[in-house]
Structure 1
Amino acid sequence: MGTVGISFGSPTAGTGFDVSNTVSQIVANLQNVESPWKSQLGVLSGQDAAISSLGSLLSTLSNDIGQFTDFDGVLSGKQGSSSDPGVLAITSASTSAVAGTHTIVVNSLAAISSGYLDEIPTADASAALSGSISIRVGSGTAQTITLDSGDNTLAGVASAINAAGIGVTASVLTDTTGSRLSLVSATSGTAGDLSVTSSISDGGTNPLGYNPATAGADASLSVDGVTITSASNTVANVIPGVTFELLAPSPITGTGATATPEPVQMQVINYNTGVVSSMTQLVSDYNAVVSAINSQEGNTSSGTPEPLFGTPTLTLLQEQLLGSINTTSPSGYLDEIPSANTSDTLTGSITITAGSSSPATIDLSSLPTADQNLNGLVSAINSTNIGVTASVLTDSTGSRLSLVSDVSGAAGKLTVTSSIADGATTLNYNPQSDVNSLTALGVTVNNDGTLSLDSDTLNNELNMDYSGVVSFFQNSDSWGTEFSNTLNNLGTSNINGTLALALSSDSSIESSLNTDISNEDLVISTEQVSLTLELTSANEILQSIPSNLNNVSELYSAITGYNAPTLG
C-alpha cells in the first residue's frame, strides 16, 4: 500500500492544509485494496460474454440437429412429381407419405352444379318481381324463397338465397342485353347437384324459368388399377399423405376399340433438397461454433489473452465436439445384459455377414469357458476379420455387444442372426443404421476442426439408402441422438450443461467479489468520515498557531518586559 504525505508548510504560517484533498488521497490509497477484485470482475465479465455467445451458437446448432432427429423433421418430408402436369399436379406430400411411384388415369373431372334464371331485359330492369323459387341441393330438403316487397329485385332474391344458408351461392350477372340470377352449388360433385323450380316472373308477364348449366358430377379416376370417385378435383388421402389436383381428363391414345386413356405416372420421393439444405445449415452453424472456440485460443487486438484462453471450459468444449463429430454410429447391438448379470456365462452362437462377404459364425461352446462372456465374444468376432468391429458398450443399467461395419453405407450392411442367451434370456440383435459415420454423408473434418460438405455424396447416399440416413440420426444410440445429447450437455439451456455451470461458477465468484467490494466501501466510507473530522480539527489547530504564539509573546513580554513596546 502506498503512503500519503501531508505538507504543512511553515508550522507558524497559519495557512494549515487542504483537508479535502488530503482525505481524497488517503481514501484513494485505501481503495487500492479493491483493485485486484475489480480486475478479476473484469476478467469474469469477459468470460461471461464469451460463454453466453458460445451458448447461443450451441443452441442454434442444437436446433439444427433437431431437424434431423425429430421424427416429423426434415427427413420425414416428401415431394412429388407428375409425368403430365396438365392432367395431374401434386399439391402436397406430408410426412406420412411413402416414397414410390403410382399410375393414375383421369377418366373425368368433378363438376360443380350451376344454372341461371331467364334473363330480364335491360328495359325491364326496374320491374318488380313476384313469385317464389324452390332450391334443393343433392338429396337434401328443398327450401323455398317467396318474394315480397323487400326482395322483389334480382339483387334482393340473391341476397335472400345467400342469407338462407341453403348451400348455394347466388349472384346477379349483367351484360349489355340484361341481367340474370346465377346459382352455383357450394358442394362439388354429385352430392351438390342442384334441383331448382322457379315461379318468379317479371311484372307478372315474363316467367323466369331455371336453366341448368352444369350438372354436379364426381370425378372418375383409377389409382394403381383401382377405380376411384371423388366429389372434388382436389383428391386427398387416396394415396396416404398425398394431395393432388385433377386438371384434365387423361388424353386418349388410339382410336375406336383401341382407344385408351394415357396413364400419368405420379412419383412421391424423399425430400432430398430439404435434407441437403438443412445439412448445409448444420455444417455452417457447427463451423461458427468451432471458429468461436478457435478465436479464444489467442490474444485480443490489444495483445491481452482472450477471456477463455487456457480455461478448462474451452478444452472440454473442443474435446466433446470433436469427439462427437468423429463418433461412429453402431450398426447394431445385442439386447442389454443387466449390470448384475454381466459376469454370467453366455451360451449359443451368432452369425454375422458384412455386405456381400461370406457369413461368419461364432459358437460360444467352441471358446474356452473363461471366454464365454461378452468380452470373449468380442475378441472372437474381431479375430475373424470379416469387416466388423465388435465392442462392449456399458452404461449405468448394463452392457451390450455392439457391432460396427468397417464399410459405411449400404455396401457394409450387416446381417446378423443371434441365438446368444444369458441363461433363459435370448439376446436378440437390434439393427442400427447402415450409415455409420458423417463421412458417408459427405461430411469431412478439416485441419482446423471445421467441417466441409460434399452435397453430391450426400445426395447419392440419400438416393441409395434413405432409411439408413434416417436411422443414422433417429435410432436409439444413433449418431444424431448422441450428438444432440452432447450439445445439450455442453450448452446453457441445460442447468447442468458445461457452459451453464461455468456461468454459474462465475456468478458465484462475482457475487462474492461484489460483496467484498461493498463491505470494503463501507469501511472506507466510515474511515473517510473519521479522517475528515480528525484532519479538520488538526487543520484548525495549525491555523490557530500564529495567534497563540502572538498571545504567548505578549504574555512573556508583559511578565519579563522583554521586547516590550517602547512608549513615545
Structure 2
Amino acid sequence: MAIESIAKTLGTGSGVDVTALVNGLVEASFANKNAALTAKTEKLTAQISKVSELKSTISDFASALAALTAGGTLATQPTSSKTDIVTATRLAGADLTGLNASVEVRQLAQGQVASTDPFAGGDTTVVGTGTLTLTFGTATVSGTSMTAFTAGPAAPISITIDSEHNTLAGVAQAINAANAGVTASIMTDSSGARLVVKGATGASQAFQLKGSSQLTELDIGRNETGSDINSVAQDAIVALDGVQTRYTTNSIYGLVEGVRLDLVSAAVGTKVNIGARAPTTEIAQSVTNFVETFNEVYKMVKAATNPVDGPLRGDPAAKDLLRQLKGLTLATLVADAGADAPRSLADIGVATQRDGTLSVDTARLGKMMTSFPSEIEAIFAQGTGLTKALSDIASKATHRETGLGVSEANYTKAQDKAAEEKDDILAATEKMRTRMTQQFAAMDAKVAAYKSTQSFLEQQIKSWNGGN
C-alpha cells in the first residue's frame, strides 16, 4: 500500500489520529535544527545585504567626489572681460595662479565656401559621370572670384562620380562619402539648385574642385565663371599683449598657458582681459557637502560593525573600513605643501567629533582658502589629494581578495551550504515521516485485529448469557 493510502487510513483501527501524531513527532524531532538553520540563514542574508550596501555606498561616494573634482569647478577658472569676443576655458591640470593677459581678436578663422551656378532642374538634374579632383592650397579672392591659387603639399584627391551618383544630389552624396576634407550640400531657391561646398577653417584650406568629362559644370577655382567663392579661407589673427599671431582655427591652445581660447567675434582695437577667479564659494560648499555625505556613510558603517547588534560586528573588512574612515581627516593629502601650509582635512577646519562624525570650522576654512589658495585647490585636485585618498579607501574596502568582496563571497558560500543543509534536513524529515507512518500503520493493523477479536468474544459472551 502506498504511503498516501496508509496515511488516509491511519487511525481507523485504533481510533487515534495517527497522522497528526506522526507529523507532530517528526516536527518536534527536527524543530531545533530547523530553528537554528533559519536563524543562520537570516543572519547570512542580513550580512550579504549589508556588505552589498556598504560596497555600493563607499564606491558611489568615491565616484561622486571624483566626478566633482574632474569637472574643474573646484579649480581656479580663467575669466574673460568680454565673452562676446572671446571665451576662456581651463585646461586639465593647469596652474592659473597670477594669470593676467590681454587679447585682441583681429580676424576670425573661416573656411572657404563655394557654390555653383543654379541648375533649373533642381537637385535631380543629371550632371554626368567622371571624376572630381579636389586640391587644397592657398587662394586669392576678389569679390566672388578666385583670381589666384597655389596648391599645397598634399596630393590632390580624386572623387569618382558613377551612374548611381550622376545627379546634383548624388554628387553631393559622393563628395561627403569620400571624407576628403570638404562637405557638400544642395541649396534650392526659385532659380534652381546649387551645389555648395565648404572647407575647413584656415588659409591653407582653400580648395579647387575640377571635373572631368561632363562634370566641368561643377568646377570651382581660379577663373571659373560657373561658380562663386562665397566665403574666403582665412586664418584667425590674434594679438597677445600686442604681439600678433595666426591660427587656423578659432579654438586656440597654447597662446595663454593652461587656457583654451574660443574666438567668438573679431573686434579690432578692443582689448579683452584674460584673468583668473579662485573657486572660493565652490570649495566651501563642496567641503560642507563632503562632510554631510561622509557622516551618513560613517554612521552606516559604524552601525553595521556595532559590537552588540551589528550584522558585520565580526567582519574584519568592515571594521577596517571604519578604521580608515576614522583616519581620513588626518591623512596627508598634499605631500609637498610648505611648512605652514595645510596638508590634511584637519588643517583646513574639518574636525572629528566624539561620535566619529565630522564638522566644519567655517572660519578656519575661510582663512586657509585666503592664505593658501593653491594648497586648498591641491587638496581637491582631480585624481590626487582627497579624491585619491577616498578612492584608495573604496578600492581597498571593495577588493575581491582582501576587502568586502571576500566577505560577500564567504557569506554567499555559507548561505549555499545552509541551503544544502536545509535540503538534507528536509530529506531526513520525509524519511522519518515515511518510517514512522509505516510503523504506526502496522500498529494500527494489530489494534484493529485485537478489536475484532474483542468484538467476537463480546458477542459470544452475550450469547452465552442469553442462553442461560
TM-score, structure 2 as length reference: 0.69
Change (3 A) 1:318 1:220: closer
SS at structure 2 position matched to 1:563: helix
Q: Deviations over 1:235-268 (max 9, x none)?
A: 23444553322222334xxxxxxxxx23222235
1:263 has 2:271 as partner: yes
* Aligned residue type for 2:136: V
Match of 2:43 in 1: 43
Q: Of the candidates 187, 202, 210, which is equivalent to residue 189 of structure 1? A: 202
Indicate conservation of the 8 Å contact 1:114/1:194, yes or no: no
Quote the offset at 1:30 in angstroms. 0.6
Q: Distance in 2 between matches of 1:103 and 1:456?
A: 36
> Which structure shows the bigger proportion of residues in helix conformation?
2
Q: Distance in 2 between matches of 1:309 and 1:95?
A: 41
Q: Distance in 1 between matches of 2:228 and 2:104?
A: 32
Quote the offset at 1:291 in angstroms. 3.1
Equivalences for residues 65-214 of structure 1 within 5 A: 66=66, 79-90=77-88, 92-99=89-96, 100-117=99-116, 136-138=135-137, 139-140=151-152, 167-171=181-185, 173-176=187-190, 178-179=191-192, 181=194, 183-194=196-207, 200=217, 208-214=225-231
Q: Distance in 2 between matches of 1:246 and 1:488?
A: 43
The sequence identity of aligned pairs, in percent, is 20
Match of 1:29 in 2: 28
Q: How many residues align?
A: 429
Change (3 A) 1:174 1:563: closer
Q: Of the candidates 327, 333, 345, which is equivalent to residue 438 of structure 1? A: 345
Match of 2:238 in 1: 221
Q: Of the candidates 432, 437, 441, which is equivalent to residue 532 of structure 1? A: 437
Q: Deviations over 1:459-490 (max 9, x none)?
A: 7645653442365578999776555544544x
Indicate conservation of the 8 Å contact 2:74/2:381, yes or no: no
Change (3 A) 1:532 1:155: closer
Match of 1:292 in 2: 300
Change (3 A) 1:535 1:155: closer
Quote the offset at 1:212 in angstroms. 3.5
Gaps of 5+ in 2: 1-10, 138-150, 219-223
Q: Of the candidates 231, 246, 253, which is equivalent to residue 236 of structure 1? A: 253
Indicate conservation of the 8 Å contact 1:111/1:218, yes or no: yes
Indicate conservation of the 8 Å contact 1:113/1:194, yes or no: yes
Match of 1:468 in 2: 375
SS at structure 2 position matched to 1:414: coil
* Range with greater deviation from structure 2 (108-117 or 164-173): 164-173
Q: Distance in 2 between matches of 1:464 and 1:479?
A: 19
Q: Distance in 1 between matches of 2:310 and 2:157?
A: 80
* Aligned residue type for 1:59: S
Q: Of the candidates 461, 464, 467, which is equivalent to residue 563 of structure 1? A: 464
Q: Distance in 2 between matches of 1:475 and 1:327?
A: 20
Gaps of 5+ in 1: 1-10, 202-206, 252-260, 299-304, 334-409, 416-433
Match of 1:324 in 2: 327
Q: Deviations over 1:350-391 (max 9, x none)?
A: xxxxxxxxxxxxxxxxxxxxxxxxxxxxxxxxxxxxxxxxxx
Equivalences for residues 441-456 of structure 1 within 5 A: 441-446=348-353, 448-453=355-360
Match of 2:54 in 1: 54
Aligned Cα root-mean-square deviation (Å): 5.2
Quote the offset at 1:154 in angstroms. 6.6
SS at structure 1 position matched to 2:84: coil
TM-score, structure 1 as length reference: 0.59
Indicate conservation of the 8 Å contact 2:122/2:193, yes or no: no
Q: Distance in 1 between matches of 2:100 and 2:355?
A: 45
Indicate conservation of the 8 Å contact 2:182/2:198, yes or no: yes
Indicate conservation of the 8 Å contact 1:111/1:215, yes or no: yes
* Range with greater deviation from structure 2 (446-455 or 435-444): 446-455
Change (3 A) 1:534 1:469: same
Equivalences for residues 396-411 of structure 1 within 5 A: none
Indicate conservation of the 8 Å contact 1:116/1:212, yes or no: yes
Q: Deviations over 1:255-312 (max 9, x none)?
A: xxxxxx23222235676677566545533332222332465699xxxxxx85539767
Match of 2:221 in 1: none
Q: Distance in 2 between matches of 1:550 and 1:166?
A: 113
